[in-house]
Amino acid sequence: MIDGQGRQIGYLRLSVTDRCNCRCTYCMAEGGVPMLGHADILSFEELTAIVRAAAELGVTKVRLTGGEPLVRRGIVDLVRMVAAVPGVAEVAMTTNACLLAPVAAELREAGLTRINVSLDTLRADRYEKITRGGRLEDALAGLEAARAAGFEHTKINCVLMGGVNDDEVADVAGLAKGEPYDVRFIELMPIGPAATWPQGSFVSADVVTETLPELRFIGREGVAELYQAKSWAGCVGLIRPMSHKFCDGCSRIRVTADGRLKPCLHSAAEIGLRGLGHDELLAALRAGIAAKPKYHHMDENHASESARDMNEIGG
Ligand code: SAM
Ligand code: SF4
């Protein structure tokens, strides 16, 4: 389906839980985060019904995210259900990968096609601090298990944080030298706990091309600019919500774990999908796609207009 700005919407991001085994400093508050109750979270049947309606409207790619999708019990079954929906060609997942190693092969067998692993540092002590308790070795084991299970072109997402990990650009990008990983540097966004972080935390992704002048621009893919260096197996992507407007390349809609359609990550607009029959779901999705704003206003306001944190929406 085409939205009001002429963009083809083919990509649905489903948050399958707001819970997480980590507490990344920029994403979730350390303690006392109010969590949805089990009854508030969409069931697998409800999630699949939304995917079925979205696929009828032209969605071909579904990403399962959260919170941490791997903490949702039965996630392999959900992957199987979503992958079986007619029209769905790609089922991807965004994960911190700490719980991935034991289930990577099962996920692949169930129909998961792509994995994005969030990895902001390659230093174990830093990893523990950023994730508040996560273990780098678990995440790296997950990444390796994904490779062994046959997942290709795995993306590695690294959020750039001034004074926290911006000295590690060369090391993290270096993961793409020997393996065909797509290492993506994402500018920190003022949403969730990061909304109150000092200005110096928000570094432009220019730091990546400045640190690695051998990178050559090879094109755009959705909201990312892609770069590659001679003889590297993989590539480097820059996602710059803060320093550049990328909204003209946006093809996505999002659904929160409690069943609210968000036409834009950074807008407060939401449409309730819970309890709707198939035709009503189609109408609600059509309305949401039509209501997608032209672009976000984060760079002008230095604030997201979304009333929710990233673990609730799904990044
Ligand atoms: N738990 C999974 C993970 O970490 O990959 C999936 C959910 S997480 C909310 C999805 C992505 O959002 C992660 O790559 C995370 O780094 C990113 N994210 C969370 N808060 C962010 C912020 N304030 N700015 C930029 N990216 C953020
Ligand atoms: Fe959890 Fe992902 Fe948020 Fe980190 S970024 S707290 S892993 S949901």
What ranges do the domains of the chain cover?
11-313
Task: Check residue 35 and give its pLDDT.
Answer: 85
User: Ligand 1 atom closest to Cα of 120?
Assistant: 16
Task: Check residue 222 and give its pLDDT.
Answer: 79
**Residue 68 Cβ contacting ligand 1 at under 6 Å:** yes
User: pLDDT band for position 300 (50/70/90)?
Assistant: low
Q: Reply yes or no on whether the pLDDT at 3 is more than 70.
A: no
- Indicate the top mutation candidate among 30, 33, 96 to test ligand 2's pocket, ranked by most ligand atoms within 8 A of CB: 96
Between the alpha carbon of residue 296 and those of residues 117, 158, 202, 267, the distances in Å are 25, 22, 17, 7
**Residue 94 Cβ contacting ligand 1 at under 6 Å:** yes
Q: List the one residue out of 53, 1, 48, 82 whose CA is nearest residue 251.
A: 1
Q: Reply yes or no on whether the pLDDT at 305 is more than 60.
A: no
| 262 contact partners, CB below 8 Å, separation of at least 6 | 253, 254, 255, 256, 269, 270, 288, 306, 313
**Residue 315 Cβ contacting ligand 1 at under 6 Å:** yes
- 83-103 pLDDT, tens digit each: 999 999 999 999 999 999 999
**Residue 12 Cβ contacting ligand 1 at under 6 Å:** no
d(CA 83, CA 80): 5
Closest ligand to residue 186's CA: 1
**What Rg value do the Cα atoms of the chain yield, rounded?**
18
3-state secondary structure string, 117-172? Answer: EECCCCCHHHHHHHHCCCCHHHHHHHHHHHHHCCCCCCEEEEEECCCCCCCCHHHH
Range in 23-32, 80-89, 162-171, 185-194 with the lowest mean pLDDT:
23-32
SS3 helix, strand, coil % of the chain, rounded to 5? 35, 20, 45
Q: List the one residue out of 100, 75, 76 whose CA is nearest residue 22.
A: 100
Q: Which amino acid is at 162?
A: G
* pLDDT (average), residues 36-54: 95
Ligand 1 centre to CA of 274 (Å) is 25
* Phi and psi, residue 38, nearest 5°: -60, -35
Task: Check residue 269 and give its pLDDT.
Answer: 72
* pLDDT (average), residues 168-176: 98
Ligand 1 centre to CA of 278 (Å) is 31
11-313: CATH number: 3.20.20.70
- Indicate the top mutation candidate among 20, 117, 126, 184 to test ligand 2's pocket, ranked by most ligand atoms within 8 A of CB: 20
Task: Check residue 20 and give its pLDDT.
Answer: 95
User: pLDDT band for position 30 (50/70/90)?
Assistant: confident
User: pLDDT band for position 8 (50/70/90)?
Assistant: confident
Q: Reply yes or no on whether the pLDDT at 292 is more than 90.
A: no
**Looking up tokens 């909304």, which residue turns up?**
195
Strands 61-65 and 90-95 come out as parallel
Contact residues of ligand 2, CB 6 A cut-off: 20, 22-24, 27-28, 66-68, 96, 118, 131, 310-311
**Residue 93 Cβ contacting ligand 1 at under 6 Å:** no
DSSP assigned state of 257: T
d(CA 2, CA 10): 9
Q: What residue's CA is closest to ligand 1, atom 5?
A: 95
Task: Check residue 204 and give its pLDDT.
Answer: 95
User: Ligand 1 atom closest to Cα of 191?
Assistant: 23
Closest ligand to residue 18's CA: 2
Other Cβ atoms within 10 Å of 244 Cβ, number: 16
- The residue ranking higher by pLDDT, 150 or 37, is 150
| 20 contact partners, CB below 8 Å, separation of at least 6 | 27, 28, 66, 67, 68, 71, 96, 311
Give all strands of the β-sheet with 260-262 in edge-to-edge order.
216-221, 224-228, 235-239, 182-187, 155-160, 114-118, 90-95, 61-65, 11-15, 252-255, 260-262, 271-272
Q: Reply yes or no on whether the pLDDT at 2 is more than 90.
A: no
Angle 73-38-118 (CA atoms, 0-180°, nearest 5)? 50
